[in-house]
Structure 1
Amino acid sequence: MSPEAARHAGGGLQAALGGKPYVLANIGDDADVAFVSRDVTGLSTKHAVLPHTQRFHDALRSAPSLKWVHAHSSGADRPVYGDLIARGVAVTTSSGANAGVVVQTALAGVLMLARCFPQLLAAQRNRSWAPLVGSGLPRDLAGQTAVIVGWGPIGRGMASLLAALGLHVVAVRSTDGAAEPPASETVSYERIGEVLPRADWLVLCCPLTERTRGLIDAAALARLPAGVRLVNVARGEVAEEPPLIDALRRGALAGAYLDVFAHEPLPAESPLWDMPNVIVTPHTAGHSDGNEMRVAAIFLDNLRRWTEGQPLLNRV
C-alpha cells in the first residue's frame, strides 16, 4: 500500500482490534502473517518478476513461522503461493476488490466488438467515412448467447449486465448444478464442449487452475460456430494462444478483446497487435484508483477474523 493507504489501514486495524498493539512491517527473518501488496509486485508479471518481488517471495518461503499470507490480487497463480499452500500456509486473495471494474471493462469490450468499434476507429484514423450500413450491419445483442466461463464476482456481474441487454447466459463453473440466475443453465468446466456450439460470445473470467489451464484449446475453438467473439479477462493461459491466433486469422473467430496473455508484456512481434478484429489492452482491466482501499478493507476484515479465530474469506 501507499503510505497514505497504510495510515488509513493502520487506523482501521487499530479500531478493529479494539486498540490492541499491532505491527505492520516488512518481512525480516520470520513472520506469522504477510500482506503481499502492490508495493511488492509493482508492475511485474508472472514471467518477469522484479528483484525486490523475488526477495519478498524468498522471504515468504523461508519464514518458518508463517501461517497466513494475503495477496492484493484476485488470483493466486504465482508459484510462490502454491509453494506456501503445500507447506500448510493459508493463502487468501482480494477476490472481489476489483470485480466491478473488470466487469465494466469486459462489458466495454463486448460493446466495442458488437458495435464494430475496431473498424470504426480504423476508419477514423484514415479519415474515412465508413457507415456500418454500407459494410454489413451488426447483429442485435438481444437474443444472442453468452457462455461465461467462471462464476465468481466477475462472471456473475457480467451475467447480470448481459442478461439485462437481452442475452441468454450459460455459466461454466467448477461444479455442475442447478442454474443460478441470471444464468439459465450451468455446466462444469469439463462439460464446456457441450455448450460451445451455441455460443455467440465466449467470456473468460475464471481463475487459472489446473482445470482451467488450456481450457480453450484448438479442440474447444473448433466447436465454436463461425462468427463468435471472445473476451478474456481471466488469464492468458486459459486460452491457448497459437490456435486462438489461427482462428482469428481465418475468421473462425469474428473478433476478440484480450486483456491477458500467456507472456506479459505481450511481445512486440505478436500478430495480435495488428489484427483488425482484435482489441489488446495491457492486463489493465481491473485497474482503478479505488482498488487500493478495497484491498485494504478485505485484508483488515481477514486480519480481524485471524485474531478472533474465525474462518478466513477468499481462502485459496
Structure 2
Amino acid sequence: MTQSPRPKIAVAPDTRPTMHRQLCAAVEAGGGQVSPLEEATGLVWADPARPDLFPEMATRAPHLEWIQLPYAGIEPFAQHLDPQWTWTCGKGVYSNEVAETALAMSLAGFKNLHDYARQQSWSGPVGRVLSGSHITILGGGGITRSLLPLLAPFNCDISVVRRSGEPMEGANRTLTSARLMEVLPRTDLLILALSLTAETRGIIGAAELAALPEHTWIVNVARGGHIDTEALVQALKTNSIGGAALDVTDPEPLPDQHPLWSLPNCLITPHIGNTPDMGLEVLVPFIEENVRRFSQGQELLAPVDVSLGY
C-alpha cells in the first residue's frame, strides 16, 4: 500500500448530499485530499444503496488501491469484490446501536409488548422472564461483542455459534456452525447477528425452526436472507415458536400485504438498528481514522476478506 503525506481520496457517488459532504470532511480531517476518481488511490463509497454505480466509477480510477465501504453488510457489493484492491467496510462501527436494538426486541417479545401495543382494551398478563434464559446467538462479530455485555446483568446461559468456534468473552460456550442443531432444542431466545454470505443464507429454515421449543422467540438484526421467510410464516401461524422480532426481512422492504404483517406474534421494524442519522455520527470518525492509517501505511480497520465475502 503506497504511503503518502496526503493521499488522494475520492468520495463517491454524490447521490446523498449530506452523507457525501460529511465523508469529504472526514477524509480531509484524516489527512487525505478529496480528489477526482481519475487521481485517487483511495475511494470512500458514499451511497450504500447504489452499488450499481461502482463498476463505471472503478474504471475511472486507474490508481485505486483501497476501497472503503460504509456499512458492515457488504453483500450488495459481493460481485464487485476484487483482490487487486484492499477493501474495508463498516464492520463493528454500528455494533452498539444494533446490539441495543437486539436487546430491545428481545425484551419486547418476552414481555408481549408487540401484542399489548395493538390492543384497545385491558387483557390478562402474558410474558416470560429474560433473566436466566438460554440464549443462542448466531455470529461472533462486533454486534455480538457489543451485545454480550448488555445481556450480562440478566445472568443468561449464552451459546454463541460462529464459523470459527473461537471462544468469546461473556458467552458460556462457543460452537461452530456445524453444531447449531445441538443447541436449538434448548434455546429460549435465538438472536441472529451474523454476516450474510452464501454459506449463511437460509441458515434458519424449516428444520431449524422445528427444532426450537414452542416458546422460543427469534430476533433478527442481521439480514433477512438468513431466514427462510415462508418457513417462518408457517411456524408463526401454527405457533410452533413463540414469535419473531424482525428488524430485517426477506424481501426488504417488506410488501404491504405480506403475511408477516398480519401475524400477532411478529414484531417488525423497518431496519432501524442503524438509521442514517445515527450511522453517520459513528461512521465519520471511523472514516477519518482509516484515512489517517492509509496515509501512514498502517493496518486498516475492518478489512474485508474477499475470499469469504465479509
* Aligned match of 2:22: 5
**Counterpart for residue 149 of structure 1:** 138
Partner of 1:109: 105
Q: 1:7 to 1:93 in 2, by over 3 A?
A: closer
- Quote the offset at 1:73 in angstroms: 0.6
CA–CA distance in structure 1, aligned partners of residues 117 and 98 of structure 2: 23
RMSD (CA atoms) = 2.1
Residues 205-214 or 280-289, more deviating: 280-289
User: TM-score normalised to the size of structure 2?
Assistant: 0.85
Q: Is the CA contact (8 Å cut-off) linking 1:231 and 1:257 kept in structure 2? A: yes
- Shift in Å, 1:30: 6.2
Q: CA deviation at 1:176?
A: 1.9
Please state how far the C-alpha of 1:6 moved relative to its aligned partner.
4.3
Aligned-pair distance for 1:31?
3.6
1:252-291 matches, cutoff 5 A: 252-287=240-275, 289-291=277-279
> Contact 1:81/1:91 (CA < 8 Å) preserved in 2?
no
1:95 paired residue number? 91
Q: 1:223 to 1:112 in 2, by over 3 A?
A: same
What is the match of residue 34 of structure 1? Answer: 43
The 5-angstrom pairing of residues 165-244 of structure 1 reads 165-177=154-166, 179-244=167-232
- C-alpha change, 1:260 and 1:61, in structure 2 (3 Å) is farther
After superposition, what is the alpha-carbon deviation per residue over 1:38-88, rounded to whole angstroms, capped at 9, x for unaligned?
Answer: xx23xx4xxxx5xxx52345312664332211111112111x344233x42
Mapping for residues 27-106 of structure 1, pairs under 5 Å: 27=37, 29=38, 31-37=40-46, 40-41=47-48, 44=49, 54-60=52-58, 63-78=61-76, 80-85=77-82, 87-106=83-102
TM-score, normalising length from structure 1? 0.84
| Change in 2 beyond 3 A, CA 1:216/1:61 | farther
Kindly provide the amino acid, as one letter, of the partner of residue 150 in structure 2.
L
1:154: how far off? 1.0
Whether contact under 8 Å (2:191, 2:220) holds in the other structure is yes
Q: Indicate how the Cα distance of structure 1 residues 3 and 158 shifts in structure 2: closer, same or farther if over 3 A, else same.
A: closer
1:118 matched to 2:114? The reply is: yes
Q: What is the alpha-carbon distance in structure 2 between the residues aligned to residue 57 and residue 199 of structure 1? A: 44
Bigger shift: residues 69-78 or 153-162: 153-162
Instruction: Give the SS at the match of 2:30.
Output: helix
Structure 1, unaligned runs of 5 or more = 15-21
Work out the number of aligned pairs and report it.
Answer: 287
Tell me the distance in 2 between the aligned counterparts of 1:199 and 1:271. 25
| More contact order relative to length (CA 8 Å, sep ≥ 6) | 2
Find the aligned partners of 1:163 and 1:211 in 2 and give their Cα distance.
Answer: 30
State the SS of the aligned residue for 1:279.
strand
Moved more, 137-146 or 187-196: 137-146
CA 1:263–1:114: 2 relative to 1, 3 Å:
same
